[in-house]
Amino acid sequence: MSKFQLPDLPYTYEALEPYFDRETMTIHHQKHHQAYVDNLNKALIGTSAEDLELEDILAQVSQYSPAVRNNAGGHYNHSLFWQILSAAPKTTPTGKLANQIDATFGSLDEVKTKIKNAGLGQFGSGWSWLYLKYNGTLDVVATANQDNPLMDTQLTSRGVPILGVDVWEHAYYLKYQNKRADYLDAFWSVLDWSAVEKRYEDMIGKLI
């Protein structure tokens, strides 16, 4: 069995309609994410990363080939993305995460605006992230291609992603065509803040 496997979605392909359509979700998961998994497994053969966990590979990804960097990022990023979406999402954060968002950004609307603007400002393919810095604070950043804040190549934006939005065209083009802003607006209707809260509380607990 290959080291890394395509994770099952925690919902059906049509569950996120009308915001994310069935055809896009099917292709995105079965074709794009599967390709990252397959290519990562191939790229790792014979390398010192062959026995490492995914997060450990990303933490020292500068030591490995572009194929490892791109496909390890693609696998990690998409696995996170699927987990924070839901057909019946919690639409606003509460508790520790809500308090930290207010303290850092001033309001939930402001952090949504920053995440959207980061996604819109990312030229070409990439991601927009809300991430937890290693000093325990939150920040928003966009990354190119399949990079993410876990990677040691991110010199000024290192940390643990707790929310990520895929802004590759394959994530939205069938439904939204070139209207990336409309896709980013629709994202909030399927984002499950309870999943983001859990990631935040798990990670902040490890830092304290």
DSSP the chain: --SS-PPPPSS-TTTTTTTS-HHHHHHIIIIIIHHHHHHHHHHHTTSTTTTS-HHHHHHTGGGS-HHHHHHHHHHHHHHHHHHTB-SS---S--HHHHHHHHHHHSSHHHHHHHHHHHHHHS-SSEEEEEEEETTS-EEEEEEETT--TTSTT-TT--EEEEEEEE-SGGGTHHHHTT-HHHHHHHHTTTB-HHHHHHHHHHHHHHH-
Same domain, 105 and 64: no
Structural domain that includes position 131 = 95-207
Q: Residue 79: which of 128, 28, 172, 7 has the closest Cα?
A: 7
Domain stop point among 34, 62, 83:
83
Residue 104 in any domain: the answer is: yes
- Per-residue pLDDT tens for 115-173? 999 999 999 999 999 999 999 999 999 999 999 999 999 988 999 999 999 999 999 99
- How do residues 79-89 score in pLDDT, each as one tens digit? 999 999 999 99
Residue 205: pLDDT band with limits 50, 70, 90 = confident
**Domain end (from 52, 83, 114):** 83
pLDDT for residue 206 = 78
Is 42 within the bounds of a domain?
yes
pLDDT at residue 200 greater than cutoff 80: yes
Residues 58 and 107 in one domain: no
151 and 75 within one domain: no
153 in a domain, yes or no?
Answer: yes
Helix or strand (DSSP H, E) at 138? strand 138-144
Statement: residue 1 has pLDDT above 70: no
36, 51, 83 - which closes a domain: 83
- The number of domains in the chain is 2
Specify if 190 maps to a domain.
Answer: yes
CATH of the domain at 60: 1.10.287.990
Average pLDDT over residues 15-21: 98
Q: Do 164 and 127 touch, CB atoms closer than 8 A?
A: yes
Domain identity same for 115 and 174: yes
The mean pLDDT of 36-50, rounded to a whole number, is: 95
Query: Tell me, what's the pLDDT at 208?
Result: 59
Same domain membership, residue 105 and residue 69: no
